[in-house]
């Protein structure tokens, strides 16, 4: 309890600290260059130059410390040994290129990078298109959207129970194996089957992300101009034709945003793999490999190198996002 | 023309059924674990959760009372007891044939007559005195009625450390959700309504920072925190979450603030209001929906985070958050589904509640900031 009070206390101090900083810095600025008297015009010009930086100061300082500095520090670390004391040149990168676990992670990540965004977007699109047509659509949307609120680790517990395996002489308590047995099949320990287990882990992320795709795509569907649809109806198009030939082409922009957003998430997700297999049975992915080298391997050089690979994979999307944002601003 | 109505209603039916199938598919996994979290430990381990409402058949083995405790009743030595609560259908006296006798029948063994009634009581009779301190084994098939209990929750909250880690998670989440909002709001206002050189570049940088993978930041910041003496503790994680949440906060809020009507802000400027007054009196109150959107994002993100908590907090009882605790339970109690299920639901409950009550703002935020990758 005391701890919560502490937290609330810190929160209040933090909020008041912020307010005090902004108030004080603004007041001081106005005292030094007052907006009246003979030099008012000059003073206003000066304060207008400085004030934006006062407003942005704390945010910029935090961003620089917590996101910009680490990028450069990671690059530096990737050329140093496990403690960061000794320059080792390209040793970490050469190790990476020859490491089996890294190659396995890369291969798995490529699978993840394709299937998770593809399936989430596809399911999201289906869910959006269908729920818009029925009366209880909003309720259905809420339920499909709900996994978004569940942590990756919570979702892993939920799905581990779905995949739970018992020997074929026992009663199955995992629903997947129960269905398989009911259909006359053999129960399987799903998450231990190399290669295919990655797909069982992907299902968890698809389950979480479909709701996100659905919400965005459903808004895009509603934004489609009525006239194009009416024209197609008059020309005798079937609902399916309207969907694939009229609606989807008008949504490419949004689909791309959804796809790239999920792609970035896929590259960063490590909780699911950590909780389900911890990279065993050849299911390793980059984010978990990095975590492994950081915590169990205690090798900051190698861990940073893996992190940089993730960063490199994200970079094209980053550039694309920045371009889009600049276009919108103009 | 008249068959168009038929086609339409058939289509509506198909759509309804398809949506129903999707919804079931999407809720079933969570529902299964939810049901399991209220079931009795033995029942979870022996039968699927979908059978929870029906009685389950269990095969039990009990050792009868010690023979030398037999009572002499009417010239017969008698031992009595129960094999279990529930309706007994069959019993047996050897592991090879655990269902050899129907309830009520009499089995003979070494001159003793053994019987188990349908109510689960057993009775062993013998004309000779019985000796020994080890009772004979009785096998029984019992139909146990469904049992629902909140014991699992009591147990995880009070003796498995989930209660404590719930408090720890709250401790992390409250400041880490509120503090970035104010910091970001000022910056967002400056980026939206103040003219200064380099503004466009800064916005571009922030859009770029939205997707920087956190993995990049972990090691450098861990080292930095150690150098400046923050080490592993709440101060460090509050700062880290604030830093990591800022790009989204600034981005969302700037997009919202820049869309506020220009006339309102310019007329205030003409009236002589300073930027600080405009921000506090006009921009902040009008931006409430965007502030709420971000607050929900940040709350869900911080509450559900495992990575940052693992890196910036210790593993001790006073610092382990719920996601970390769940991960430990998955390792150490992997098969104890009653513990896992109820722990998972304690950790899921709060974000689910927030999700359903404030969904409107969450959706709005998603639509405004769909560049961010989580």
Q: Average pLDDT of B90-116?
A: 80
Q: Is the pLDDT reported for residue B5 higher than 50?
A: no
Closest residue in chain B to residue A67, using alpha carbons only:
B217
Work out the burial of residue A240: count CB atoms within 10 Å of its CB; fewer than 13 is exposed, 13-18 middle, 19 or more buried: exposed
Q: Whole-angstrom Cα distance, residue B92 to residue B108?
A: 11
Q: Is the pLDDT reported for residue A257 higher than 50?
A: yes
Q: Is the pLDDT reported for residue B107 higher than 60?
A: yes
Strands B112-116 and B121-126: antiparallel
The helix/strand/coil state of B70 is: coil
**Residue range A25-40, pLDDT digits in tens:** 888 888 888 777 777 7
Question: What integer pLDDT is reported at residue B7 of this predicted model?
Answer: 56
Question: What integer pLDDT is reported at residue B2 of this predicted model?
Answer: 40
Q: Average pLDDT of B175-188?
A: 87
Mutation site for A-interface testing, chosen from B16, B183, B225, B325 by largest number of A Cβ within 10 Å: B183
Q: Is the pLDDT reported for residue A56 higher than 90?
A: no
Q: B89-98, B237-246, B325-334 — which one is most confidently predicted on average?
A: B237-246
Q: Whole-angstrom Cα distance, residue A39 to residue B180?
A: 37
Taking the model in full, what pTM does it have? Answer: 0.82
Q: Based on C-alpha coordinates, what's the Rg of chain B?
A: 33
Q: Is the pLDDT reported for residue B4 higher than 70?
A: no
pLDDT band at A118 (very low <50, low <70, confident <90, very high): very high
Question: What integer pLDDT is reported at residue B369 of this predicted model?
Answer: 59
Question: What integer pLDDT is reported at residue A330 of this predicted model?
Answer: 67
**Structure tokens belonging to residue B23:** 């919804």
Q: Whole-angstrom Cα distance, residue B120 to residue B103?
A: 9
Q: Whole-angstrom Cα distance, residue B303 to residue A3?
A: 16
Question: What integer pLDDT is reported at residue A1 of this predicted model?
Answer: 66
Sheet holding B71-73, edge to edge: B71-73, B76-82, B121-126, B112-116, B106-109
B143 against A61, higher pLDDT: A61
Instruction: Tell me which DSSP letter residue B110 carries.
Output: T
Instruction: Judge whether A326 is closer than 8 Å to chain B, CB to CB.
Output: yes
Question: What integer pLDDT is reported at residue A13 of this predicted model?
Answer: 82
A330 against B355, higher pLDDT: B355
Q: Show which of residues 84-143 on chain A sit within 8 Å of chain B, judged by CB atoms.
A: 84, 123, 126-127, 130-131, 133-134, 136-137, 140, 142-143
| A28 min Cα distance to partner chain B (Å) | 13
**Residue range A184-221, pLDDT digits in tens:** 878 888 888 888 888 888 999 999 999 888 888 888 88
**Residue range A262-288, pLDDT digits in tens:** 888 888 888 888 888 887 888 888 888
Nearest to B32 by CA among A181, A47, A80, A176: A176
Residues 6+ apart with CB under 8 A from A293: A299, A302, A303, A306
**Residue range A126-172, pLDDT digits in tens:** 888 888 888 888 888 888 888 988 889 889 888 988 888 877 777 77
Write down the mean pLDDT value for chain B. 81
pLDDT band at B371 (very low <50, low <70, confident <90, very high): very low
Residue B95 vs residues A222, B98, B144: alpha-carbon distances, Å:
67, 5, 21
**Residue range B159-177, pLDDT digits in tens:** 777 888 888 888 888 888 8
Q: Whole-angstrom Cα distance, residue A96 to residue A78?
A: 11
Q: Is the pLDDT reported for residue B374 higher than 50?
A: no
Q: Average pLDDT of B52-64?
A: 75
- The H or E element that residue B61 is part of is strand B56-63
Residue A283 and residue A108 in contact, taking contact as beta carbons nearer than 8 Å: yes
Residue B371 and residue A258 in contact, taking contact as beta carbons nearer than 8 Å: no
**Pairs of residues, one from chain A and one from chain B, whose beta carbons lie less than 8 Å apart:** 348
pLDDT band at B282 (very low <50, low <70, confident <90, very high): confident
**Residue range A219-247, pLDDT digits in tens:** 888 878 888 888 888 888 887 888 888 88
Q: Is the pLDDT reported for residue A119 higher than 90?
A: yes
Asked if A160 lies within 8 A of B330 by C-beta distance, the reply is yes
CB-CB neighbors (< 8 A) of B344 in chain A: 154, 157-158
Write down the mean pLDDT value for chain A. 84
Question: What integer pLDDT is reported at residue A117 of this predicted model?
Answer: 92
Q: Average pLDDT of B63-88?
A: 79
Which segments of B116-233 does DSSP mark as H helices, in order? 151-158, 162-193, 199-209, 214-228
Instruction: Tell me which DSSP letter residue B143 carries.
Output: E
The percent of residues in chain A predicted with pLDDT above 90, rounded, is 5
């Amino acid at each position: 309890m005391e701890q919560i009070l502490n937290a609330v206390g810190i929160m209040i101090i933090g909020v008041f600290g912020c307010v005090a900083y902004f108030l004080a810095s603004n007041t001081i600025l106005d005292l030094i260059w007052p907006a009246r008297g003979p030099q008012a015009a000059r003073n206003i010009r000066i304060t207008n130059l400085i004030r934006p930086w006062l407003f942005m100061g704390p945010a910029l300082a935090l961003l620089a410390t917590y996101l910009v500095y680490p990028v450069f520090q990671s690059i530096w670390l990737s050329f140093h040994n496990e403690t960061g004391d000794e320059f080792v040149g390209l040793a970490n990168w050469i190790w990476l290129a020859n490491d089996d676990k890294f190659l396995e992670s890369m291969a798995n990540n490529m699978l993840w990078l394709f299937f998770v965004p593809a399936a989430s977007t596809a399911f999201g699109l289906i869910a959006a298109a269908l729920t818009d047509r029925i009366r209880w659509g909003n309720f259905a949307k809420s339920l499909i959207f709900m996994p978004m609120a569940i942590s990756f680790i919570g979702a892993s517990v939920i799905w581990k129970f779905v995949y739970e395996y018992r020997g074929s002489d026992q009663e199955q308590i995992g629903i997947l194996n129960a269905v398989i047995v009911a259909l006359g099949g053999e129960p399987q320990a799903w998450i231990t089957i190399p290669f295919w287990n990655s797909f069982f882990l992907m299902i968890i992320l698809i389950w979480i992300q479909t709701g996100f795709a659905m919400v965005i795509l459903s808004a895009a569907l509603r934004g489609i101009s009525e006239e194009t649809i009416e024209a197609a109806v008059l020309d005798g198009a079937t609902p399916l034709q309207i969907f694939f030939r009229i609606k989807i082409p008008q949504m490419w922009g949004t689909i791309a945003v959804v796809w790239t957003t999920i792609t970035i998430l896929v590259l960063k997700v490590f909780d699911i793999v950590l909780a389900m297999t911890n990279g065993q049975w050849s299911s390793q992915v980059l984010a978990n490999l990095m975590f492994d080298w950081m915590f169990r391997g205690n090798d900051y050089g190698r861990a940073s190198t893996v992190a940089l690979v993730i960063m490199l994979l994200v970079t094209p999307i980053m550039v694309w996002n920045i371009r889009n944002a600049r276009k919108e601003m103009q | 023309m008249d068959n168009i109505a038929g086609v339409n209603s058939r289509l509506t039916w198909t759509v309804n059924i398809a949506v129903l199938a999707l919804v079931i598919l999407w809720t079933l996994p969570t529902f299964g674990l939810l049901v399991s979290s209220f079931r009795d430990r033995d029942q979870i381990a022996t039968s699927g959760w979908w059978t929870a409402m029906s009685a389950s058949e269990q095969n039990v083995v009990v050792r009868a009372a010690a023979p030398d405790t037999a009572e002499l009743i009417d010239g017969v030595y008698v031992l009595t007891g129960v094999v279990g609560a529930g309706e007994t259908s069959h019993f047996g006296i050897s592991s090879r044939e655990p269902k050899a006798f129907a309830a009520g029948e009499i089995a003979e063994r070494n001159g003793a007559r053994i019987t188990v009634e349908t109510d689960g009581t057993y009775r062993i009779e013998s004309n000779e005195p019985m000796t020994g301190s080890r009772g004979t084994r009785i096998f029984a098939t019992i139909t146990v009625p469904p049992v629902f209990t909140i014991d699992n929750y009591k147990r995880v909250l009070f003796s498995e450390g989930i209660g404590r880690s719930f408090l720890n998670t709250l401790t992390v989440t409250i400041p880490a959700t509120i503090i970035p909002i104010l910091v970001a709001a000022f910056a967002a206002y400056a980026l939206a309504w103040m003219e200064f050189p380099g503004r466009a570049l800064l916005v571009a940088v922030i859009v770029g920072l939205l997707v920087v993978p956190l993995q990049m930041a972990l090691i450098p910041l861990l080292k930095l925190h150690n150098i400046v003496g923050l080490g592993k503790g709440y101060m460090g994680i509050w700062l880290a979450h604030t830093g990591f949440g800022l790009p989204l906060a600034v981005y969302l809020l700037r997009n919202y603030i820049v869309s506020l009507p220009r006339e309102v802000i310019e007329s205030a400027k003409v009236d002589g209001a300073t930027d600080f007054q405009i921000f506090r009196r006009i921009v902040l109150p009008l931006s409430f929906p965007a502030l709420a959107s971000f607050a929900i994002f940040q709350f869900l993100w911080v509450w559900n985070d495992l990575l940052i908590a693992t890196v910036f907090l210790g593993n001790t009882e006073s610092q382990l958050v719920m996601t970390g605790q769940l991960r430990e339970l998955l390792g150490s109690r992997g098969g104890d589904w009653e513990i896992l299920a109820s722990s998972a639901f304690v950790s899921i409950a709060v974000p689910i509640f927030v999700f359903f009550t404030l969904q409107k703002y969450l959706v709005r935020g998603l639509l405004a900031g769909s560049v961010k990758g989580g």
